[in-house]
Structure 1
Amino acid sequence: MTDETGEPAGGNPSEPTADTDANDVEETTNSFSLASFYDICETQGRPILTAGTVATALGTSHEAANAALDRLADDGDVTRLSVEADPVVWYPSELDDPRARERVVIFPKRREIVVDQPQQFTRAQLSQFAHLAETTGDGGYRYVVRPEDVWQAPHDTLDGLRRTIRQALGERNDTLEDWIESQWDRARQFRLTTHPDGYTVLEAQSPEIMGNVARPLLDEEQVHAPISETEDWVREGSEAAIKRELYEAGYPVQDDRELDGGDPLDLELTVSLRDYQRTWVERFDDQGAGVLVGPPGSGKTVAAMGAMERVGGETLVLVPSRDLARQWADALAADTTLDPAQIGQYHGGQKEIRPVTIATYQIAGMDRHRSLFDDREWGLTIFDEVHHVPSDVYRRATHLQSRYRLGLSASPIREDERQAEIFTLVGPPIGTDWDALFDAGFVAEPELEIRYVPWADEAGNAHAAADGRERYRIAAENPAKIHEVRTLLAAHPSGQALIFVEYLDQGRELSDALSIPFLSGETPHHERQRLLEAFRAGERQQLIVSRVGDEGLDLPTADLAIIASGLGGSRRQGTQRAGRTMRPAGGALVYVLATRGSREEDFARRQLQHLGRKGISVREHTVDRPDEADSAEESGA
């Protein structure tokens, strides 16, 4: 006899009976981990579970769940506790030790939360309603609760969100919760719907919100006319503009249009998703739109294929370059059950429209090609390197309509601060705490070091006489960097190395001086592929790469990355280049070379500060001039 939760009605849990499936017990016991325990805690909204709750969540028997919990208890990961209300409950053992409990400090007026040494469970709870702004080397985490974090919180009810907040913070904070409630309400004031006659309607929760917010903002280019006090008839093609206008005014629009899903597409993944990738796919499926945000190496492309499997509709993949189009086609053929004949590419090299079509943004946005994409009803559109879409050239491709929209980016930030447009054009961010991926071993945390290189005499004199952009270029191409690159490569003779440069002349000089191939936009496609394949296979240890490698190519990961120039670029560029060393094996190094006494020093700190806030440690080192080093060695220093 059991109660409604599936627990025995009294006494201790019974021993397995003869009817118990031994295979089920063994399989559950072997596969159930502390991470699985935390996943169920998160779903239940509390850090204490019963065997019946675990059995229900896993779809297994009570005996199998009890055996799995017993194993975790034997390993010291969870603790048993017999109480009157439930015969046995289980909770994480770390809660036994007061020293292991996080110290949480709340600044409600600034909407900031500072946590000392948070456990992964706490970080997972905080990520549902707050943004990780920065981490410190000693385990401090600073979160900021922004409007968009509340707007996209993965909860169906405000009460559910409140439970998550209180569980993460360990207390109730009325000031913070009142503000969060106001943002929750804002996110539900407007929605786009489809009228029975087929056109789009903007609908408001009240006449007041429509009259005081929407109608003063929107003009005749976006709406035809009012239909009622709370409804406006939307002009075809202006949906994205309306969403952007209202988003910037602090009112995100829920998109509930009945968009065509296209013909069904039957495909299955042939690789397994990691737990966090499965969570990404589930959140995307719930929302119908979103941007997967994770470090390079975290498997966003595989997760996107998981979304394709979940949607089950014809798919358009948009990419910045034809090289990425080819890599997507290869990955789809390798990791899904799609037949190669179902996969088409549409760019300057070839033009095929298939059930899964991979096209470049530029081609998809051109008037003479766009009708081909408009005429086909897509179930899903995937925007790779989605941080491009706010630009004038790329955003035209976002006007293509599909039922589901998914973006991918390691770092959807823009130096022009237009990243909000990414989320209005595509969907809200869906991401994972970088530290959680580092802790779990899915992605390795690289070691970053800024090395301040002295001037070569002639370059220093030229820098002093120059001004403006020319000064920056002279510092970037400082010939002393050739010596430093050679020194670093000699210090790591067995590692595979990628050397990044901003300027073609510098790339050619390094290539000539070090006898290393230089891969740039001028390199023929067949030669690029040959060099990259040799690097992947371990047949070539070193490559010099221009800006074409930041995102236009799927570069292989490396043990060593040396950024010889390009520090005036974006924070996103720093993330992309550092990310080339992020892989589970660990031990990777990133060296950033900056000419001492130039603006490169400031650029280096600014570019890598963004990675520092994600938990990656950054150190600094000043390189001695060759004559200084010789003098120090002679003096015995």
Structure 2
Amino acid sequence: MARTPTLTFDRGTLILHPPPRCKAWMDFATWDDRIEKFRIPAIQYRPLVEALQAENTDFVDKAKEFYPVELLAALEMEPYPHQSEALKAWKLAGRQGVVVLPTAAGKTYLAQMAMQATPRTTLIVVPTLDLMHQWYAHLLAAFPDAEIGLLGGGSRDRTPILVSTYDSAAINAENLGNRYALIIFDECHHLPTDFSRVIAEYAIAPYRLGLSATPERTDGKHADLNILIGREVYRKRAEDLAGKALAEHEIVQIKVKLSQLEREKYNRLIQIRNDFLRESKISLGSIQGWQRFVQMSARSQGGRRAMLAHREAKEIALGTDGKIRVLANLLAKHYPERILIFTADNATVYSISQEFLIPAITHQTPVKERHAILTKFREGEYRSLIASHVLNEGVDVPSASVAIILSGTGSAREYIQRLGRVLRKGNVKNKQAILYEVIAENTSEERTSARRRGEGDKPQKQEGKKKNKENLRVVYGSGGKGREYKAAEQMEIKYSTDESKLSKDDDF
């Protein structure tokens, strides 16, 4: 008598033995000579099970160790329309996919709604320890009767609801892979790296939710999210939610002129750089061009001189005295409002901190000191705060209403995240947020500013003579009329997502 095929989990993969008589499983399996059995990638668990079920093939599922959980919410709020729409779109897509919402739009509460709609063991993956503790605190308040644990920062819990950093989840991916039915990837643009992607690849989780304000990546790997999590199912822009879930906001660009001495030195340095680029036939309009410039700077004296000139010119644009004067005016204008100041480098952070007696946070700031500074800022003891990149994501400061970008990268993600730091309404009625972008006129900063605002394909009047086709251009909104969650309702979904049909007796 033939044995019933058994599906087992083995360190991030599946083993199906003995082979079923049907053909459905063959598209997923690869023969492993070492064990003389068929092996299947763990991420293929759901389509494999659905294929076997579709052919009425009997099999024993010993792979899954996830199970239903009771999630009785003690923290419930009336969801915003966009949260309800996003949840509906995700469910209609089979509870797999990416939701794109601006910073401060309530992605954490949306995740809570998804957990309540899919009451199974759940893994939440976040990029930083700060975010891990924020999620943990939220979940403890939301589900006080549930077992909630941490993985990372010295904690190694084994609980039905687990919050982990990407690093810790990747390290333990082989052991975590079959324990959770739902995985929530917060800031999911961190997932498609060679190190982190194993979290999704080694997991059999049939339900997956990705959350991000800016999933696009300059290396193009955001396309892998379609495989690792599921396609994008819903998207809203900050301006779509202004005055509703988010504070009304205004973006003001201030251009400052270099002094005559700064301008003369800047032009001289740029000329040195451009002469070398022209002689070497290098264009900085692409990543490949920049990589070649870096390589050439290490191979020749002329290349090194050009790179040093490039860096010195950049320092002039980033740190011109004109920006300091503008900063002083803005601080006086908006006193006593809570103000966040962002720069591109730590040296400028410390310089401004010392000159204006403003508390500073960088990656070098000890955890306890950082916590104390943020607490005093939230409570109003500190009115201003300056940082480089460490406050771009994972920090909740609803009391801030003014952001000043003195310098930054060309990353659209960084720009949106910095704007998001002042968009939370908090308890402020009719909050009006404002973002100032201070840039040096007629310098490379203008092109950097255009890139981070999604205008990288526009030709620039200075320095760049050709359109930069390689730059990331973030496309916001639904991408077309009528292509929001209503369009998701029309897509062909092969199985039900009705709440009543997602019972404890389901296969998943």
Same fold (TM over 0.5): yes
| Whole-angstrom distance in 2 between the partners of 1:396 and 1:530 | 36
User: Which position in structure 1 is the counterpart of 2:412?
Assistant: 571
SS at match of 2:247: coil
Corresponding residue number in structure 1 for 2:97: 290
> Does residue 607 of the first structure (1) align with residue 452 of the second (2)?
yes
After superposition, what is the alpha-carbon deviation per residue over 1:189-237, rounded to whole angstroms, capped at 9, x for unaligned?
xxxxxx954389xxxxxxxxxxxxxxxxxxxxxxx99975995242446
Q: What are the within-5 Å matches in structure 2 for residues 169-180 of structure 1?
A: none
Q: Which secondary structure state, in structure 2, belongs to the residue aligned with residue 359 of structure 1?
A: strand
1:379 maps to which residue? Answer: 181
Distance 1:338 1:431, change over 3 A: farther
Q: Which amino acid aligns with 1:351?
A: R
Matched, 1:262 2:57: no
Cα deviation, residue 438, structure 1: 2.7
Please tell me whether the aligned partners of residues 403 and 422 of structure 2 are also in contact (alpha carbons under 8 angstroms). Answer: yes
* Match of residue 426 from structure 1: 229
Question: 2:322 matched to 1:480?
Answer: yes
State the identity %: 30
Residue 583 of structure 1 deviates from its aligned partner by 3.2
Distance change in 2, residues 1:337/1:348 (3 Å): closer
For 1:518 and 1:405, how far apart are their aligned partners in 2? 37
Partner secondary structure for residue 378 of structure 1: coil
Deviation, structure 1 residue 335: 3.0
How far is 1:347 from its partner?
Answer: 1.4
Taking structure 1 as the reference length, the TM-score comes to 0.55
Specify the SS of the correspondent of 1:407: strand
Seen in structure 2, the aligned counterparts of structure 1 residues 260 and 517 have a Cα distance that, compared at 3 Å, is same
Paired residues of 1:557 and 1:580 also in contact (CA < 8 A): no
Q: Give the equivalent residue in structure 2 for 1:351.
A: 156
Residues 320-346 of structure 1: per-residue CA shift (max 9 Å, x gap): 11111111111112233345xx22221
| 1:451 aligned residue | 254
Residue 395 (str. 1) matches residue 190 (str. 2): no
Q: Distance in 1 between matches of 2:238 and 2:217?
A: 22
What amino acid is the match of 2:449?
A
1:278 alignment partner, one of 77, 84, 91: 84
Q: Distance in 2 between matches of 1:513 and 1:485?
A: 11
Distance apart, 1:349 and its partner CA: 3.5
Counterpart position of 2:302: none
Q: What corresponds to 1:590 in structure 2? A: 435
The change in CA–CA distance for 1:482 and 1:196 in structure 2 (over 3 A counts) is farther
Question: Which residue number in structure 1 is paired with residue 422 of structure 2?
Answer: 581
Per-residue deviation at 1:316? 1.0
SS of the equivalent of 1:279 reads helix
**Contact conserved, 1:559 with 1:587, CA < 8 A, in 2?**
yes
Alignment correspondent of 2:167: 362
**What is the aligned partner in structure 2 of residue 538 from structure 1?**
380
Report the CA distance between 1:544 and its aligned residue: 0.5
Which of these residues, 187, 194, 198, is aligned with residue 7 of structure 2?
Answer: 198
Partner of 2:14: none
Q: 2:69 is matched by which residue type in structure 1?
A: L
- Give the match for residue 137 of structure 2: 330
Distance 1:382 1:489, change over 3 A: same
> How many residues are treated as equivalent by the alignment?
383
Relative to structure 1, is the Cα distance of residues 353 and 275 closer, same or farther in structure 2, using a 3 angstrom cutoff? same
Question: Tell me, which stretches of 5 or more residues in structure 1 are unaligned?
Answer: 1-194, 201-223, 244-252, 616-637
Greater RCO, 1 or 2 (C-alpha within 8 Å, sep 6+): 2
Distance 2:253 2:65 in 1: 49
Look at both structures and tell me which one has the larger radius of gyration over its CA atoms.
1
> C-alpha displacement at 1:593, in angstroms?
1.3
Q: Give the residue type in structure 2 aligned to 1:570.
A: S
Letter matched to residue 363 of structure 1: S
Unaligned runs of 5+ in 2: 10-18, 31-38, 52-60, 270-307, 456-472, 478-508
Q: Displacement, 1:613? A: 6.5
CA gap of 1:242–1:267, structure 2 versus 1, over 3 A, is: closer
Change (3 A) 1:499 1:255: farther
TM-score (norm 2): 0.68
1:513 aligns with 2:355: yes
Instruction: Give the secondary structure class of the aligned counterpart of 1:446.
Output: strand
Return the offset for 1:380. 1.1
1:217-236 alignment runs, 5 A limit: 228=23, 231-235=26-30, 236=39
Secondary structure of the equivalent of 1:450? strand
Between the aligned partners of 1:301 and 1:261, the Cα distance in structure 2 is 26
Amino acid at match of 1:359: S
8 Å CA contact 1:225, 1:232 repeated in 2: no
